[in-house]
Structure formats: structure tokens, C-alpha cells
Amino acid sequence: MGVSLRAIPGFAVATARLFGIQSAFSYERMLGIGFGHASEPLLRSLRERDGDTSYRAALVRQSQFFNAHPYFASIAIGAAVRAELDGEAPERIVRMRAALCGPLGALGDRLIWAGWLPACVALGLVLVTLGAGGWGVAAFLVLYNVVHVVLRVWGLRAGWRAGLRVSGALANPLLQLGLAIVGPLAALAVGAALPMVLGWVVRRGLAWSLVWGQFLAALVGTVVFVAVLQWLHARLSGLGLAMVGMGAAVLAGVLWP
């Protein structure tokens, strides 16, 4: 199909819905409902062309289980919609969605959660310690969300262009460059921010002894907590461990000075 994605009715609505893909998150389908909700405006042309039955069947497929990084799920959405409108076999579309979960999740975790987010947070903290105040917070929000928004919108278009050959979109040179530099960038930014934030805290009236005392208390508490979890691992289910973790977090919040 040589049609531009912009020419597909519902393109603007689908783009806006990308930002709510986690709004119907569930353990049964993960991002599946949000995936289908974002796909639906683009699938309406399928109803006009092939009838209501084809449209409903495609929408059901796109609302099934899907789990990946929310910023990169748009790649799968674009590819899946393109495959539906191209008339690809349903089983091929389902296999493609399943195959994309792992790569898109790993890509987003490395690029965003372990790279860009800590780098932006660290930069914002550095600016605050240098006297930027609220402008440091604003810089963090702008820097982080510019990349976040671009990734969502780019992903929808990249997936649409690729269709079932979507694996080629993951080899994009800019993505590979980002993966190569964002880790060292985050390490550099966090390493620079730590001493500056500590100095800033001390200058605002807290004694070094209090800072180091809280640091050591947090360190000891973490070690003890991990040891307890290891001991409980064979005795509790995943839900039980989660409840223990939540209880410990609440207790720590109440007791922490």
C-alpha cells in the first residue's frame, strides 16, 4: 500500500491516543486494550472498504495481549495497522505482535529507563544546585518529553512504512547511536550530579553527619531488606513478595526522619 499514513482517516486521533496507551493497563492484557484503542481510528478505513466484520475482527486482534515499552509500542501499532489494511493473514499479524514484545521492551528499557531518564533527572538536579530553581525542573521536563513525544510519533510512522518487515525499523541508525551514547551520558550526568547535590544539601543547613547518617541507614536497610526477600523467596508467591515490599515501603516512609 503506497498511501501515506497522514492520508489515512483518523491519523491525528490515533497519534493523540498513543499518549493514553497505558490508561487501560491490566495484568491480563498489559498494554493490549490501549494498543487496540490507539489502532482503532486507523482501522476505520478497513470497515469502509471491507465491511464491519473485517473491522471488528482486526480490532479484536489489536486489543489482545501486548507488552512492551509504552514509548515504542507505537512501532508495533503502525506495523500492525499497515498489515491489517494490506490484507495480511491474521496469524502472521498475531505472530508479529508477539515477536515485537521482547525487542521493543528491551529497547525502551535501555534507551529510556536506564539512559535518557536518569540523564535528564541528573541535569535538572545540577541546574537546581547552580541556582536555576524552577527553571531546572522545567529543563528536565522539556528535555525528557521532547524525546518522549518524538519517539511515539516517529514509531507510528516507522511501523506503518515497514509493515510486516518492521524489524528493519529497529536498526535505524539514530536508534543505534542513541543506544551507544545514552548509557555513558547517563553515567556522566549522574556522577556529576551526586557531589553537587550533596554540597547543595549541606549548604542549605544540613550537617554532613546527618547526610552520611541517612545514607548509611538507607544502605543498611537495603541490605537487610534484600536478605529478607531472599529468605522469603522460597516461601511466598510473587503476590506475597509484592505485599511484603509494599509494607516495607510504607513502614520506611513512616519511620524515615
Q: What pTM value is reported for the model?
A: 0.77
Buried b (16+ CB within 10 A) or exposed e, 107-124: bbebbbeebbbbbbbbbb
C-alpha cell at 104: 521493543
9 close to 85: Cβ distance less than 8 angstroms: no
The three-class DSSP label of residue 233 is: coil
Nearest to 39 by CA among 68, 64, 4: 64
pLDDT by residue for the chain (257 residues), tens only, comes to 555 676 677 889 999 999 999 988 888 999 999 999 999 999 998 888 888 899 999 999 999 999 999 999 999 999 999 999 999 999 999 999 999 999 999 999 999 999 999 999 999 999 998 888 889 999 999 999 999 999 999 999 999 998 899 888 888 898 999 999 998 999 899 888 888 887 777 776 655 556 566 666 666 766 777 777 777 766 766 667 667 767 776 676 666 55
